[in-house]
């Protein structure tokens, strides 16, 4: 079975309403193209960089899961019959001064399947996300979709092989990675290397979507379980399309049955 996925490699701004309006338009465009799943970048709801990278600012623009951003995406998913994955800023508990960096997973009926809170925060390369976000305390649990079993992680979490290994042990055909990967020395090399490595070591598709503009890199990738790049973005805005082919996945896993050779009893001594 082959399924077309769309990668909305777009630039976000500070206005959540404008970003939602654009997302809804692109969702319709992707559905007309035959896509059954569309992925938007991490934090697409409202970007915050420079002087806006503060807990109080982010808390002020964050929304709840029944707010206009999530509700609008659910309406578009239902209208166009397409699964939608998109990043947002979610209001955390009233007792917290921070917000969640949340990824929504919405099915083609407009139902919110899950809202994942990024658990490994980007305290690296001179930035400290933990000053702004509350960390989630659970990894994403893989879910069944009409086009395969899906895992999910967000941006910086790509650097932790334990995350994809944990999810792969629960059965994953493809991983989705919404990102806001910051440009910088060696960053593009790290990105491409890590995405490809995670595809190969887990014999699974990797479907990534990175922001552009605002010092974000772009270069979204779709990599198949053999490590072959099936789609790649530039540094500019684009809508990319690629296929998830479960027959290809089965053939690769027959050639490389590494997942069946794992010995987890040896890995945590």
Q: What is the chain's pLDDT, residue by residue, as a tens digit (269 residues)?
A: 899 999 999 999 999 999 999 999 999 999 999 999 999 999 999 998 888 889 999 999 999 999 999 999 999 999 999 999 999 999 987 667 899 999 999 999 999 999 999 999 999 998 999 999 999 999 999 999 999 999 999 999 999 999 999 999 999 999 999 999 999 999 999 999 999 999 999 999 999 999 999 999 999 999 999 999 999 999 999 999 999 999 999 999 999 999 999 998 898 76
- What CATH number does the domain located at 2-266 have? 3.60.110.10
Could you give the C-alpha distances from 49 to 1, 164, 217, in angstroms and in order?
Answer: 41, 28, 14
> What predicted TM-score, i.e. pTM, was given to this entire model?
0.96
> What's residue 95's pLDDT?
64
**Annotation says 118 is catalytic:** yes
Could you give the C-alpha distances from 174 to 48, 91, 133, 228, in angstroms and in order?
Answer: 29, 29, 27, 14
> What's residue 205's pLDDT?
98
36, 90, 98, 118: the catalytic one is 118
> What's residue 264's pLDDT?
87
36, 129, 155, 209: the catalytic one is 155
Burial of 168 (0-12, 13-18, 19+ CB in 10 A): buried
**Annotation says 209 is catalytic:** no
Query: Angle at which helices 187-202 and 161-169 pack, to 10 degrees?
Result: 20
The angle at the Cα of 189, spanning 233 to 226, to the nearest 5 degrees, equals 70
CA–CA separation, 269 vs 265, rounded Å?
A: 8
Structure tokens at 137: 């305390």
**Annotation says 42 is catalytic:** yes
């Amino acid at each position: 079975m082959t399924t077309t996925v769309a990668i909305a490699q777009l630039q976000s701004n500070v206005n959540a309403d404008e970003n939602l309006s654009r997302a809804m338009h692109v969702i319709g465009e992707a559905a007309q193209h035959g896509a059954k799943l569309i992925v938007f970048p991490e934090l697409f709801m409202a970007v915050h960089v420079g002087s806006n990278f503060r807990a109080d600012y982010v808390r002020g623009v964050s929304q709840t899961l029944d707010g206009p951003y999530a509700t609008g995406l659910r309406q578009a998913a239902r209208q166009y019959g397409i699964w939608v994955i998109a990043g947002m800023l979610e209001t955390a508990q009233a007792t917290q001064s921070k917000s969640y960096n949340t990824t929504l997973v919405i099915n083609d009926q407009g139902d919110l399947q899950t809202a994942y809170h990024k658990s490994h925060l980007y305290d690296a390369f001179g930035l400290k996300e933990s000053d702004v976000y509350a960390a989630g305390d659970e990894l994403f649990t893989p879910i069944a979709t009409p086009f395969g079993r899906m895992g999910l992680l967000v941006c910086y979490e790509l650097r932790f092989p334990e995350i994809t290994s944990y999810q792969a042990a629960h059965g994953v055909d493809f991983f989705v990675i919404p990102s806001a990967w910051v440009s910088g020395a060696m960053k593009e090399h790290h990105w491409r290397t890590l995405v490809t490595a995670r595809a190969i070591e887990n014999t699974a598709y990797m479907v990534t979507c990175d922001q552009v503009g605002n010092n974000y890199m772009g270069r979204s990738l779709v990599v198949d379980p053999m490590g072959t790049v099936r789609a790649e973005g530039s540094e500019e805005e684009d809508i990319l399309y690629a296929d998830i082919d479960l027959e290809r996945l089965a053939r690769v896993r027959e050639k490389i049955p590494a997942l069946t050779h794992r010995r987890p009893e040896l890995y945590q001594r």
